[in-house]
């Protein structure tokens, strides 16, 4: 116990002796550990976010839409949502029509700037398959579908600068040449988040829609999903079923999730390289330190320090130096992860094994880096050490 305390206080004393040098040599380790924590923490947070999106989306949501065609875009039958619902395993469905209408945020905005927002016609049944809930205001109820009312997807709301609906001060946006009142804001799937929604009636009366949908969203019993996929094209367009494409939005998220998993392996290698370089820095510092402190070593040997005592002193000093970098690196990594996750609106995930592993790595790197200089110090003949000027 006494020996351990002595070794620790001696080591700490040694580290403090040259603070500038200690900081510089610990910096390498700090960078390595920070990289380690960042490359595990950021993907973990990103994956947690994707998991959350996957959960919200569900894996039984399908999207069906006509693709290709000639100059005239192919549209679907107006009753297509009801038709799809007659497929037994389908739980809910809703149709949407892309109106290709220009969206202008307010009176003073340039009407030629559209900010990439899509206008979609839909009905109250959209909430069913998407399982969405309005975050503010209301969705297009049956009473609203014929009125100039518009609901904003989350991202579109953000772009338009209308993130909440205040009943006492309703905002309006212009679609084509008509002013629509914003009645609600809601988060949906990533692609629908960038759209604004109006009712079928309003679309027909005010925006010149023919009421023919361009896309169908539906949710089916998970176990029957493939079967539903199979019959969908023929149901939607018996004439040319080959032009109907069916996709599952969760597939894209799952693929993204897999890609981010492979990235982290690469960056982990990068962190390991940084750590090794940091270890070499510590070893270098310790070798110089041993050379400079030969007289101290000689004196300690004369006072009665064994070779082991000297070895331990320098190993402990290297470990403390490295640990200093490890703790700093962990803090940088954790702050970086938290900051990045907050910036992206992700849930914060700091993987405890990575942090613990980082600190353990720092200790190990320090011990390995300190071993050679420490052995050199302990092998120094006392007489030679004392003679050093």
> Is the distance from CB of 155 to CB of 197 less than 8 angstroms?
no
Q: Which is nearer to other proteins, 100 or 383 (CB)?
A: 383
CA Rg value for the chain: 33
- CA 307-26-378 angle, 5° bins: 10
C-alpha span between 18 and 350 (Å, rounded)? 33
Q: Which is nearer to other proteins, 184 or 298 (CB)?
A: 298
Residue that the structure tokens 């900051």 belong to: 339
Q: Which is nearer to other proteins, 7 or 334 (CB)?
A: 7
Q: Which is nearer to other proteins, 298 or 326 (CB)?
A: 298
Task: For residue 211, give every residue at least 6 positions away whose Cβ sits within 8 Å of its Cβ, in sequence order, or none.
Answer: 78, 97, 121, 200, 203, 204
Task: For residue 216, give every residue at least 6 positions away whose Cβ sits within 8 Å of its Cβ, in sequence order, or none.
Answer: 63, 64, 65, 76, 80, 81, 84, 93, 94, 95, 96, 236
Task: For residue 367, give every residue at least 6 positions away whose Cβ sits within 8 Å of its Cβ, in sequence order, or none.
Answer: 315, 318, 319, 322
Task: For residue 82, give every residue at least 6 positions away whose Cβ sits within 8 Å of its Cβ, in sequence order, or none.
Answer: none
Q: Which is nearer to other proteins, 18 or 172 (CB)?
A: 18
Q: Which is nearer to other proteins, 206 or 374 (CB)?
A: 374
For the bound state, the minimum distance from the C-beta of residue 381 to other proteins, rounded and expressed in Å, comes to 7
| CB atoms near residue 115 (< 10 Å) | 13
Contacts with other proteins by CB under 8 A lie at 2, 5-6, 13, 16-17, 295-296, 298-309, 381-383, 386
Q: Name the CA dihedral angle for 65, 70, 72, 78, rounded to a multiple of 10 degrees.
A: -30
Q: Torsions phi, psi of 95, nearest 5? A: -110, 150
Q: Which is nearer to other proteins, 360 or 381 (CB)?
A: 381
**Length of the chain, please?**
389
Q: Which is nearer to other proteins, 8 or 231 (CB)?
A: 8
For the bound state, the minimum distance from the C-beta of residue 305 to other proteins, rounded and expressed in Å, comes to 5
- Taking alpha carbons only, the member of 307, 314, 316 closest to residue 290 is 314
């Amino acid at each position: 116990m006494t020996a351990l305390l002595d070794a620790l206080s001696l080591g700490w004393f040694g580290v403090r002796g040259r603070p500038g040098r200690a900081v510089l040599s610990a910096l390498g380790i700090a960078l390595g550990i920070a990289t380690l924590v960042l490359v595990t923490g950021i993907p973990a947070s990103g994956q947690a976010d994707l998991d959350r999106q996957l959960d919200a989306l569900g894996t039984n949501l399908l999207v069906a839409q006509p693709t290709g065609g000639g100059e005239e875009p192919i549209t679907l039958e107006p009753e297509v949502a009801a038709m799809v619902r007659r497929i037994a395993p389908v739980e809910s469905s809703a149709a949407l029509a892309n109106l290709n209408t220009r969206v202008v945020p307010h009176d003073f905005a340039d009407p030629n700037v559209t900010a990439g927002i899509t206008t979609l016609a839909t009905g109250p049944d959209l909430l069913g398959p998407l399982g969405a809930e309005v975050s503010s205001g209301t969705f297009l109820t049956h009473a609203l579908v014929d009125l100039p009312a518009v609901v904003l997807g989350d991202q579109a709301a953000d772009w338009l600068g209308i993130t909440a609906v205040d009943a006492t001060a309703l905002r309006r946006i212009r679609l084509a040449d008509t002013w629509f009142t914003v009645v609600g804001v809601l988060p949906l799937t990533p692609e629908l988040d960038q759209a604004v929604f109006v009712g079928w009636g309003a679309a027909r009366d005010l925006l010149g829609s023919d009421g023919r949908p361009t896309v169908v969203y539906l949710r089916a019993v998970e176990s029957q999903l493939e079967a539903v996929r199979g019959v969908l094209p023929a149901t939607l367009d018996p004439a040319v079923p080959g032009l109907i494409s069916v996709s599952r939005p969760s597939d894209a998220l799952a693929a993204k999730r897999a890609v981010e998993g492979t990235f982290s392996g690469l960056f982990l290698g990068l962190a390991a390289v940084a750590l090794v370089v940091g270890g070499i820095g510590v070893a270098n510092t310790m070798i110089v330190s041993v050379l400079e402190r030969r007289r101290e070593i000689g004196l300690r040997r004369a006072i009665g320090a064994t070779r082991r005592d000297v070895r331990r002193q320098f190993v402990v000093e290297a470990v403390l130096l490295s640990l200093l970098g490890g703790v700093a690196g962990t803090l940088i990594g954790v702050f970086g992860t938290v900051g990045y996750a907050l910036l992206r609106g992700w849930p914060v995930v700091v993987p405890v094994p990575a942090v613990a592993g980082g600190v353990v790595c720092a200790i190990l790197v320090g011990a390995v880096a300190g071993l050679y200089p420490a052995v050199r110090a302990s092998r120094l003949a006392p007489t030679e050490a004392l003679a050093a000027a």
